[in-house]
Amino acid sequence: MCSKGKFTENVIIENYVAVVTGANIGIGFEVAKEFNLRKAKVYMICRSEKNADAAIVQLENLGCDSSRLHFIQCDFTSFKSVKNAANELLGLENHIDILVNNAAVLMPKFELTEDGFEKTWQTNYLGPFLFTEILLPAINKSENGGRIVNVSSIAHDRVDILDFDQINNENQFGEWKTYGESKVANILHARQLTRRLHESKSSVTINSLHPGIVNTDLLRNTVFAKPGVIAISRFLANIFLKSPLDGAQTVLYLALSEKVEGVSGKYFIDCKLAKESKLALNDQISEDLYNYSMEKVSKFL
């Protein structure tokens, strides 16, 4: 169960294969740690081998078994990198039990990726969408039901309209607006993929969540990370924001709890069902977004 936002079930996941994106820091680091301590083999999907190696040393010092921690390089701003990482993983494992789509950025200015998409949108949504699609056959082979967890945000609630054909329009860009659009897309993705999984009689589940306002490096590209501001922002963050471990609790709940076995397409906060925005509940938008996404990533599938 989850007590006051804490996941407290003693779940052991020996012989599980778990995949965590953005696993070298913040929420992803804490999730990778907990999965490993609960006996799973964990694949840490990170941009930097140097940072991943440093994280593995930290995790080993915290009691983790480094023989069950594996790094795979992936940059979600590149569909080619996403495909290569997913295929590398599929070459190593014939099944995946848990996928946590956690990696995210908040970009302070408009920037296009090598694939021609706004960077926040591709990193937070389109890249993870592609990653999930490629890995889905392996997740379907899980003997434990297969669970996908999308780390979204309460920032999605600020978005009233999702015109994904305008995502790459610089005139429509806004730092938090675009971030919120990517996060409502994470929820819509979970809803629409749930429908498709049910139609195919799959036992895989996918849910989304808001982890809380967490003290992570998400703001590393913003004004809060500038030299004259960073000391103050860190001081305030330590007082008012959740720790990464606290932020990881609902991820762990959705990935491991018996209480959500068979539950799919839902949105959670503090290990409890929560109310999405009206837009996030729009089935037509979720279908349109899925079709748009498949079209944009099709040549990498």
Residue 212's pLDDT is what? 82
pLDDT of residue 214: 59
Residue 170 burial class via C-beta count within 10 angstroms: exposed 0-12, middle 13-18, buried 19 and up: exposed
pLDDT of residue 219: 46
What per-residue confidence (pLDDT) applies to 202? 98
By the 8 A CB rule, do 157 and 177 touch?
A: no
The hierarchical CATH code for the domain 2-300 is: 3.40.50.720
Using DSSP, state whether 242 is helix, strand or coil. strand
| Alpha helices, DSSP H, located in 95-141 | 119-121, 127-140
Asked if 85 and 72 count as a contact pair (C-beta separation under 8 A), the reply is yes
pLDDT given at position 216: 56
Q: What proportion of the chain, given as a percentage, has pLDDT over 70?
A: 89
Concatenate the DSSP letters of all residues of 204-227 into one string: -EEEEEE--SB-SGGGGGSGGGSH
pTM above 0.75, yes or no: yes
Positions in the chain whose pLDDT score sits under 70: 1-4, 214-241
Q: Is residue 267 annotated as a catalytic residue, yes or no?
A: no
**Joined tokens for residue 265:** 């397409």
For the chain, the structural domain boundaries read 2-300
- Give the pLDDT score at 242: 75
Q: Which of 232, 256, 190, 264 minimizes the C-alpha distance to 40?
A: 256
pLDDT at 228: 45
Handedness of CA 187, 190, 195, 196 (dihedral sign): positive
Catalytic residue among 43, 125, 179, 267: 179
